[in-house]
């Protein structure tokens, strides 16, 4: 009889403890919203302890990753705002400086007033240039930019960018050229205007960071059956190896003072990378200091 009572008590106690633990575990599950409570009820409580530990660990790990990502994003945003303010300040103060000088009396001085207005206007142009780049990169980053793909001849697009930049290149005595004559069209399927921007940014950089009397060569080669690779090669300054991994970051500059003087927004390569990746293509860079740099990107050939 005593044995029976003991067994009964034991069973009741066991059951109650199990229920108690079960309720606690379930509460934890509910609290962290890990699982639907129904999936829990079908499993025995004892083995659930292991599952619970595993799930909690997984949950903690996921949350940590989420928090880290948010922290990085927050830091990124703070950096971005700081950088934008910094980039805008210089031209803005230039405009203010000239306007104040004019108001303080230079307006009456025929000899200088036109010069000052022209300079202020140049600074406004620079502001617009930076804001346009900011606008473009923001659109690219929020995925707001729809590509309008079409078939076009990449050789003639390159030629038209050459023509547009000829004067700028001539100022630095740099020659923009193809690596060989391209007599037949090479048709690709991409967003022509965005690729024009990519080519412009790469060629402008090759001029800005090129050597006097240098050459920038562009080539278009077959890569695989349905791809071509466009290479932009210069014999300019080159880029030290340690900077290459960060080159495509917004506002990243190898030599901050030198580059800003050269007049970029610090967003050129970030835009290039976004556009190429939006196409599902790849961008590469190889560079040797004092030898030169080569930026290359792939494009899809047109099917027709």
- In this structure, the strands spanning 292-300 and 187-191 are unpaired
Cβ of residue 168: shortest distance to ligand ADP, in angstroms? 13
Give the SS3 label for residue 192.
Answer: helix
> Which tokens belong to 127?
């502001």
Cβ of residue 133: shortest distance to ligand ADP, in angstroms? 8
C-alpha distances in Å from residue 153, one per residue of 179, 185, 221, 245, 297: 17, 6, 13, 32, 16
- Read off the DSSP letter of residue 251: T
Cβ of residue 90: shortest distance to ligand ADP, in angstroms? 13
Cβ of residue 61: shortest distance to ligand ADP, in angstroms? 35
Which residue, 91 or 268, has its beta carbon nearer to ligand ADP? 268
Which residue, 185 or 256, has its beta carbon nearer to ligand ADP? 256
Give the SS3 label for residue 291.
Answer: coil
Which residue, 188 or 203, has its beta carbon nearer to ligand ADP? 203
Contact (CB, 8 A) for 209 and 234: yes
CA 15/CA 45 separation, integer angstroms:
11
Which residue, 92 or 102, has its beta carbon nearer to ligand ADP? 92
Cβ of residue 234: shortest distance to ligand ADP, in angstroms? 5
CA 230/CA 297 separation, integer angstroms:
5
- In this structure, the strands spanning 187-191 and 149-153 are antiparallel
State the residue number with the nearest CB to ligand ADP: 264
Strand partners for 291: none
| Residue written as token pair 């023509």 | 163
Read off φ and ψ for residue 207, nearest 5 degrees.
-80, -45
Which residue, 136 or 267, has its beta carbon nearer to ligand ADP? 267
Which residue, 157 or 207, has its beta carbon nearer to ligand ADP? 207
CA 12/CA 15 separation, integer angstroms:
5
Contact (CB, 8 A) for 292 and 236: yes
List the one residue out of 187, 85, 197 whose CA is nearest residue 145. 197
Which residue, 98 or 209, has its beta carbon nearer to ligand ADP? 209
Element (H, E) at 232: strand 227-234
Cβ of residue 163: shortest distance to ligand ADP, in angstroms? 20
- Residues at the interface with ligand ADP (CB under 6 A): 201, 205-206, 208-209, 234, 236-237, 239, 247, 252-255, 259, 264-270, 293
Cβ of residue 97: shortest distance to ligand ADP, in angstroms? 23
Which residue, 296 or 298, has its beta carbon nearer to ligand ADP? 296
Cβ of residue 247: shortest distance to ligand ADP, in angstroms? 5
């Amino acid at each position: 009889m005593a044995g029976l009572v003991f067994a009964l008590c034991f069973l009741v106690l066991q059951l109650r403890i199990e229920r108690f633990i079960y309720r606690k575990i379930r509460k934890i599950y509910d609290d962290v919203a890990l699982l639907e409570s129904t999936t829990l009820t079908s499993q025995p409580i004892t083995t659930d302890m292991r599952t619970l530990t595993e799930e909690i660990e997984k949950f903690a790990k996921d949350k940590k990753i989420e928090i880290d990502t948010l922290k990085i994003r927050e830091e990124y945003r703070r950096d971005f705002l700081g950088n934008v303010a910094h980039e805008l300040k210089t031209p803005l103060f230039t405009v203010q400086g000239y306007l104040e000088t004019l108001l303080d009396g230079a307006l009456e001085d025929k000899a200088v007033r036109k010069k000052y207005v022209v300079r202020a206007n140049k600074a406004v142009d620079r502001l617009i240039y930076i804001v346009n780049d900011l606008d473009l990169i923001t659109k690219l980053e929020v995925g707001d930019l729809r590509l309008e793909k079409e078939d076009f001849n990449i050789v003639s697009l390159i030629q038209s960018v050459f023509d547009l930049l000829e004067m700028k290149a001539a100022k630095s005595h740099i020659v923009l050229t193809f690596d060989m004559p391209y007599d037949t069209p090479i048709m690709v399927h991409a967003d022509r205007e965005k690729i024009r921007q990519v080519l412009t940014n790469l060629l402008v950089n090759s001029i800005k960071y090129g050597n006097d009397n240098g050459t920038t060569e562009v080539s278009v080669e077959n890569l695989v059956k349905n791809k071509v690779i466009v290479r932009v090669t210069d014999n300019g300054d080159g880029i030290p190896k340690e900077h290459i991994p960060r080159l495509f970051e917004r506002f990243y500059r190898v030599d901050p003072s030198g580059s800003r003087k050269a007049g970029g927004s610090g967003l050129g390569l970030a835009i290039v990378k976004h556009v190429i990746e939006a196409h599902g293509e790849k961008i590469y860079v190889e560079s040797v200091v004092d030898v030169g740099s080569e930026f290359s990107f792939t494009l899809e050939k047109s099917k027709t």
